[in-house]
Structure 1
């Protein structure tokens, strides 16, 4: 009997220790904020879902105007500028009058002609002043249509071989940090740069509102491949070092509580991180404010206080349930005045208490069973000596 109970003792003890460790780990990894804390940290969350994940390469480049969308305004006759109606940065429509030229031909007054725009767009250059003499060979004003532009990326030659016309690039411009643009590969440049080993990849993209301007610095995330049904989160959600990656997941039951959750990371692109383990679809991860949560523990609401408020009854400091025995012990300490300003370290989990009780009962059974069992030497009857008969 004694030998058969030993494995059971070990199993129950191990089970109880696992649950106790789980409660302690939960408390250590949970950050609970009040409403003010959530607002101050500007916490934002997104729901984890399976999406199309893009493998990308990074490149730098610049925005360029499309040559066929640049026009010049000039005079067909020699003369002098008597009226100039535009300046660099002005927006004009097709056919707008931009200047008046007084002809050199004799007359009283001399003939005056109006110059009009050949296309709509932005006035990018004005090379003349009021009163300047004008010749037909000289361009006075340059107008650029920026409704579409080129984004030219410097791509390594070995990567260029994997790109086909129509390849998509996600483009960010330093001057417009909140804006995102998508372009399609039109063609490659006519020659490569032998020193850097790169070649120009020319992407064509629309420019709503004319926000993009020529020579702006651009960053490219060029999509090389795509996979479907991949669990991913925004890059802002991923925290920690390379060897210890984690995210903060919003607690399903407890308001304003966020659980630090370890994750295994796959590929990373410019916007998303592939999660191979640690999260499930429908989890809500913190994006904005995730970094700040790592430092919020000291000033946040304790897990015990949050659970007390949410469930309507008292919990241990680690968030575990308080058993009647633990409550009685805490009441006895308070009644006896044995409170020296130390915080209660927190009660054990119910499973640990049940396991301890079961161990105690089984130990008593083992003792009583041993006492009630007769000794082997008492149970065996004594041998009766046999007398030999004389012959």
Structure 2
């Protein structure tokens, strides 16, 4: 027998005005009309926009749903409407159970009351009896790890302590449905792991979940289904892992298309901007000691490309002309993650003193990377040319992309691994 539908949205839409005063006015009018049982009317102003449009979803008991989409796609708006924190312009939400919304942890706390008093108040609001609310204090206190601070006013808490208490209360309030918006990173690493474990326990107990998270690992770990929102509308929905793959491929392609568009309008402008950003270290090419520097990346089919799949064989070909006699030549290639300048690896001719016998003229070098074990993303190569420890040249020389493959992976490196056995006793 199939589990019953516990949460649904039908033709859910939300319209806002770009004018803040008009938006506030409409909010009050919407609340007033809703309290009278009247339909909330859509704004007719030309400065309005749809934050969410015509969204349908169903969530059954024990199911978990991820909401995917870039910032501004409508994820948080949808989550807040499911929690009845925002009144829809059209459509409606139906729920059958106790909803706990982990959107703004501790938003309902009274900062003048102690942690203990806020626990009791929150439990009473969730339908607990007074005795049950008092009994809930002990497990919530133990989970939160607040210790003696439980009897201090929450207004004296740090943001981390506030979040700990908020998460602990929400997940111990016997939820049937839990709505989560980017909050599984509260507190320190130990408490984060405790939160993730608690979410797994709730899932096993049949609690339905809707999760908004930029952590693709969390989505893959917790969610069965996914909805991909784009500009307030559903672009795709289905099994979480399949939708996640399509979404990541789309985001990477879109990001790379933007880079290519910039280059088409202004060749090498991306390299110039990277050089000026400072993310990848000092730039040194003022003295003109190196001429005609060139670098190319070659794939397994011997084609010059700037896109690869994880674990492809990559050949790096570079060359330049020395404009002066060099006593002790060496070249270093550094590979960085484009988004934050994190250094991934270094390839250097210092290993083996490969260029120690070259002092002048034109140099051409080829090196192979047998397996490019990087996760999908955008990367930057810098070249440093030295005489001994002194710079002759250093600059950003290449941007390349690793594309999504059929396998899901996160982190920094994509390590090949094969399961040799799986046993189920």
TM class by shorter chain equals: under 0.3
RCO comparison, higher one (Cα < 8 Å, 6+): 1
Normalising to structure 1: TM-score of the pair? Answer: 0.22
Indicate the structure with greater strand content: 1
Indicate the structure with greater helix content: 2
Normalising to structure 2: TM-score of the pair? Answer: 0.21
Higher-Rg member (1/2)? 1
